Chain A
Amino acid sequence: MRRGVQISGAGHLALAVWLLVGGWLPDRRPDEADFTDVTVISGEEFAALVAGGGAPDAPQVGEEPAAPAAPEEAAEAPEVPAADSAPAPQPAPEATPAEDPDPAPDVSGVAAPQAEVQPDAPGQQPAPDSPDGAAVTFAPDETPVPREAPRVAPLAAPEPDAQAEVSDTVQAAVDPDAEAEPETPVEEAQDATAPEEATTETVTEADEPQEAGEVVAALAPAGSPRPRTRPAQPAPTPEPEPEPEPEQVAAAEPEPETQDEPEPAADPMADAIADAVADAVSDAAPAPSPSPSEYSGPPMTAGEKDALRVAVQRCWNVGSLSTEALRTTVTVLVTMNEDSTPDTGTIRMTDFSGGSETAARQAFEAARRAIIRCGASGFSLPAEKYGAWAEIEMVFNPDNMRVR
């Protein structure tokens, strides 16, 4: 092992030396020559170029192309390059001689207007006449010219609705006379229609807000406060058996795969999951065909069952039931036709609870009316699963509809 360390150390050392020293070693590769096209001009030509325009001021302005943009107001102090820059109140000594030798008091006063007109300064700056690229670098011509606004819309305007002009229906005419009242549309006489009075809950007068002008603005409580029922404590679950210490297990059985796991029944998590699975199965699993041995197709999904439930409850009217019938849960069995309509002759009550036989009979009548009414045109049931819904057991539980 030491030998390996030595080899590794030597290798790393060599790499470090190469990195440090290798850069100083002469490069045997030939240098690549870079050639740049340049234009050589004489000093006279350059002077002539300078004398031909105001471009020389531009490099002095540097990164502030707006500074030399002195508007007309800046005539008294034309040499102030950057009026909005406080540290630069002094004009350049090489500037053109100003007629006013005392620019100091005017600089501050001129500074503000210059700042306002600064956006326009690049446009007012004289463009260099020289085609020299060096000068053009700072020329304001580089400013992108705004693209012209489209004069023609990309899409043609839709044609006016011809029916609006030839329609026979009476409409308010567009009268240029603003004072003229619009013509009242003539409506055809028709019978008044309104949805049936229906509700899913009862709101008493005591539940309604108190009208203004009554003695007290506060609402009376709907009922006397009652202490809430204390939630039932979960049944104590047996403590899982403590897992054996690893050392002990290792001592007893060297292979950890063979450790004894706790009993599944003693695991509260496993119990909870098992219960959840059982509940889910019992809730989600649809009942198969009345002849399970004959029907082996796909079962009813929860959505399909919900659709059936909603269709039936839409017609389950408990408004005329007695208070006792409203406490009675009835179980109704119905055989369905293949066109998803109920076979009305087969509707029968198989069980009831919570009320007397008389009350159960009234509750059953209401349930039967619901099945017949809303099933007259057929329930929304998958035809390919007829075997699953050829016989349906409906439990009508009015607990939620009872007046509390």
Chain B
Amino acid sequence: MTLSRLLASFAITAALAMPGLPAPANAQGGPLRIEITEGVIEPLPVAIPPFIAESPAAEQLAADLTRVVSADLTGTGLFREIPQSAYISGVSAFDQTIQYADWKAINAQALVTGAVNVDGAGNVTVKFRLYDVFSEAQLGDGLQLDGGSNAWRRLAHKVADQVYSRITGEGGYFDSRVVFVSEEGPKDARRKRLAVMDYDGANVQYLTDSASIVLAPRFSPSGDRVLYTSYETGQPEIFVLNVGSVQRQRIPVPGDAMTFSPRFSPSGDSVVFSLSQGGNTDIYAMNLGGGQPIRLTSTPAIETAPSFSPDGSQIVFESDRSGSQQLYIMPASGGEAQRISFGPGRYGTPVWSPQGDYIAFTKQNEGRFHIGVMRTDGSEERLLTASFLDEGPTWAPNGRVIMFTRESAGAGGTAQLFSVDISGRNLKQVSTPGAASDPAWSPLLP
């Protein structure tokens, strides 16, 4: 190539690459094409006018129900409610025509309208519609829910779940419950008992008394039973408790072995747990219908905190077989385990997400505790929190939110429940009557 050709080529390239200069026209057919790669991350403005009371008995209920729906949505950090004082036009009837221009003017990108009716028998009927304001179209069909008057909060949660799902494209988690350990008293003589509540801290009910220490409750896949560890016999033992009847049953193991850290299989008919005997701790599985525990690991290391994958084919657990506490994955029937955590510090309490794409864990490194997530192959590790003591993550039913225990430092430090979005945003404390720890999220209620 001659020098002149070389210079000409460079000149052409530079001229074409220079911004602001017109490019050759009509280099390719079709419409103008641009690529958007940067956006903004902000809560979606939503207008939630008060639900319309279609009967006098429903007035208070309509207001309460609207408040819960709004709290559910805004509590996710994904939505921002537009205050009613900014409304240009209200909603006076459930079937009235929506004045989209009025809602556009206040930048409401979604509009939720609803109505509540209470019949003579006390049954509550809630119906709602969701509108995409800028598209000037209804987002999904209208929906009507029925329930008893004492279930109005669940009705509100279900409305919020529908709105959340239609906008974000993933399932909701508002109509769910959380079992946890309620704590009282000083740090060196703390009394603990099992409690269950709505995901937002409402409707707290205690399942056990505080006569003995209880630890690590876990919901069954159907949400009707709870596995937990109790020290009522002086050493840790696993019990299964029926949430409805509050009846409990000890899971028998041979000899004087200690059992702890239980978790249901996805099918709910078996349980995996740690069994410590003779100074060695390994992971076992046992059918709840009867039978003997099946040993899944067999090393001199301490191996505990097993958690099934959603399809039940694998188990993630923690082990110090490599000299430090790390995360491993093995087949559900036992066998060779594969280490997935390789970062600095110690990893523990792994929990497989309901979607199966992430594993949440506790990490201790350089004097701080973190809640983090990683892919099931150990990649894309992200730490979501950092504090004096964070531990025990549990997934929301949709795999978008993680709840965990955060304990403050000092002799007067107390444990509280916190939740955080999987993105690391929206870290907030969960309201509980007192100190609380060891949360476990239930699946969505039927």
Contact = CB atoms under 8 A, between A and B. Distances in A.
Interface of A: 196-208, 210, 214-216, 218-226, 261-262, 264, 267, 269-270, 273-274, 276-277, 280-288, 290, 292, 295-303, 305-306, 308-309, 312-325, 333, 344, 358-359, 361-363, 365, 367-370, 372-373, 376, 388-401, 403-404
Most chain B CB within 10 A, of A208, A361, A395, is at A395
Given A200-B40, A362-B169, A376-B104, A323 B31 contact: no
A358 B169 contact: yes
B24 interface: yes
A362 to B, nearest CB: 3
Given A288-B26, A306-B19, A319-B43, A204 B382 contact: yes
17 contacts: A196-B80, A199-B41, A214-B367, A220-B368, A222-B383, A223-B380, A223-B381, A269-B6, A287-B33, A302-B19, A319-B44, A320-B78, A390-B31, A391-B31, A391-B32, A395-B33, A401-B39
Contacts of B109: 369, 373
B424 A361 contact: no
Given A204-B424, A318-B39, A309 B34 contact: yes
A368 B16 CA distance: 32
Interface in B288-310: none
A372 B43 contact: no
A225 B32 contact: no
A204 B383 contact: yes
A314 B386 contact: no
B434 interface: no
Given A316-B36, A403-B382, 19 more contacts: A208-B386, A216-B366, A220-B383, A222-B383, A224-B341, A261-B2, A276-B9, A277-B12, A284-B17, A287-B33, A299-B24, A316-B39, A319-B44, A320-B44, A320-B78, A372-B135, A393-B30, A395-B36, A400-B38
Contact of A224 (B44, B139, B342): B342
B27 interface: yes
A299 to B, nearest CB: 4
A308 to B, nearest CB: 6
Given A269-B1, A321-B168, A199 B42 contact: yes
Contacts of B5: 270
Interface residues of B, number: 83
Contacts of A394: 33-36
Contacts of B34: 305, 308-309, 312, 392-395
Given A277-B9, A391-B31, A210 B368 contact: yes
B170 A324 contact: yes
Interface in B335-388: 341-345, 357, 363, 365-368, 370, 372, 378-388
B120 interface: no
Nearest to B358: A323
B146 interface: no
A265 to B, nearest CB: 11
Contacts of B37: 313, 397-400
Contacts of A391: 31-32
Most chain A CB within 10 A, of B21, B33, B40, B423, is at B40
B40 A287 contact: no
B47 to A, nearest CB: 14
B42 A196 contact: yes
A224 B381 contact: yes
B32 A281 contact: no
Nearest to B424: A204
Closest 10 CB pairs of A and B: A224-B343, A204-B424, A285-B27, A362-B169, A216-B367, A280-B16, A316-B39, A206-B383, A215-B367, A391-B31
B16 A206 contact: no
A365 B110 CA distance: 11
Contacts of A396: 36, 39
B31 A392 contact: yes
A202 B20 CA distance: 33
Interface in B114-142: 132, 134-136, 139
B35 A395 contact: yes
Most chain A CB within 10 A, of B12, B36, B372, is at B36
Contacts of B380: 223, 404
Contacts of B32: 286-287, 300, 305, 388-389, 391-393
